[in-house]
A and B are shown apart, each in its own frame.
Chain A
Amino acid sequence: MEKNIAYIALFAALIAVLGLVPQITLAFGIPVTAQSLGVMLCGTILGARRGALAALLFVGLVALGLPLLSGGRGGLGVFAGPTVGFVVGFPVAAFVTGWIVENWRAPIGAAAGAGALIGGVVVLYAMGITGFALVLGKSWMAAAGVMAVFIPGDILKVGLAIIITQGLAKLRPASILSRP
């Protein structure tokens, strides 16, 4: 019990830190933050249930008014704005990512890659685009067209999620809670 709470809370903090630390620039010139990488790592490392709870805790604290989203955004206004789908999608993305890593018995790198791609990109963008389309009153396809600009950056993060999860699995196999 204590251990689960501590892991969930510390990974919620990790999602926040990955969005706030300015010196982690993933690609030159492209404003990509590592925040959704944190969500992917919640899934690949903590597994479906704990990963989703960590992301949910993070989203809850944003709603309570802490400026934890990348760029120091936060508060209830986020949930009325065009990026609401992405924020609400974080727990779902972490859950799907973790579920795939837990249930697909492939080598950890492959499972983490598939999980991060399906959970952290496909599911997250499906929800993000839906929110964007609803708030800005556009068709789903039009919203998808606008959002497509950001997808290459997120494919890059899938690669990083694979490398980091593999690295952790090698350094400390016991820490990959999604693979008990």
Chain B
Amino acid sequence: MLTLTCPIKTPVHRIGAGPKLLGLAVVSVALFQLQSPLLVGAALCATAAVYLAFGWQFARHGAALLRPLWLFLVILALWHLWTGDIAAGAVLAGKMLIAVALANLVTMTTQLAEMIAVVERTTAPLARFGLSPRALAVAIALVIRFTPVLMDKAALLGQAWRARSQHRVNWRIILPLGLMALDDADHVAEAIRARGGL
């Protein structure tokens, strides 16, 4: 399955996942304090400059990840045009764009394996409370493996539907899909136990 890590290598890829996450947390909290439109504008330009510094392709990847925000920008624009407080709206929109863009930057420049390693390190102390790190690792691996498997099964159910019916596939395939997930879960549990268990 595809991850959101960007294939275009940047110097940020070489920084460890832990420092990047800490840095993101600090910068996000600092960003929350900004109130002046000028400072937010400068921060927005700086963020865009960071993306562009890694090349046009990388910046396009980043812009694509921001696309789902357009609806909220429209809502903000309409709201603040109506109330007339345009500066406040620009500050809110700018802060939202910067926060999401910086968080995406961490996601785009960190391999999934590095992220999982951070989760394993940080959850290790929870072993005392009964959360086995191995169980967590197995669960993560199972979701990554079975999401495409269930997608394929949903596609097969859809094909079978279209072979029998003129109507469009609708929610009725969710019940058999749920049954397949339950069956797969039983098989996986048996297979794990057969291999010595968790």
Contact = CB atoms under 8 A, between A and B. Distances in A.
A5 B134 CA distance: 11
Contacts of A2: 188-190, 192-193, 197-198
Interface residues of A, number: 60
Label chain B's interface by main secondary structure.
Answer: helix
Given A2-B189, A2-B193, A160-B171, A57 B104 contact: no
Interface of A: 1-3, 5-14, 16-18, 20-21, 23-26, 34, 37, 41, 45, 57-58, 60-61, 64-68, 71, 73-82, 135-138, 142, 146, 160, 163-164, 167-168, 171-172, 175
Nearest to B99: A80
B22 interface: no
Contact of B174 (A5, A18, A73): A18
B169 A23 contact: yes
27 contacts: A2-B189, A3-B185, A5-B192, A6-B184, A6-B185, A6-B192, A7-B185, A9-B142, A9-B146, A13-B146, A13-B149, A21-B155, A24-B154, A45-B182, A58-B143, A65-B5, A75-B108, A80-B96, A82-B69, A136-B75, A136-B92, A137-B88, A137-B92, A160-B174, A168-B175, A168-B182, A172-B182
Interface of B: 1-5, 24, 28, 65-66, 68-69, 72, 75-76, 79, 88, 92, 96, 99-104, 106-108, 110, 112, 115-116, 119, 135, 138-140, 142-144, 146-147, 149-151, 154-155, 158, 168-171, 173-175, 177-179, 181-182, 184-186, 188-190, 192-193, 197-198
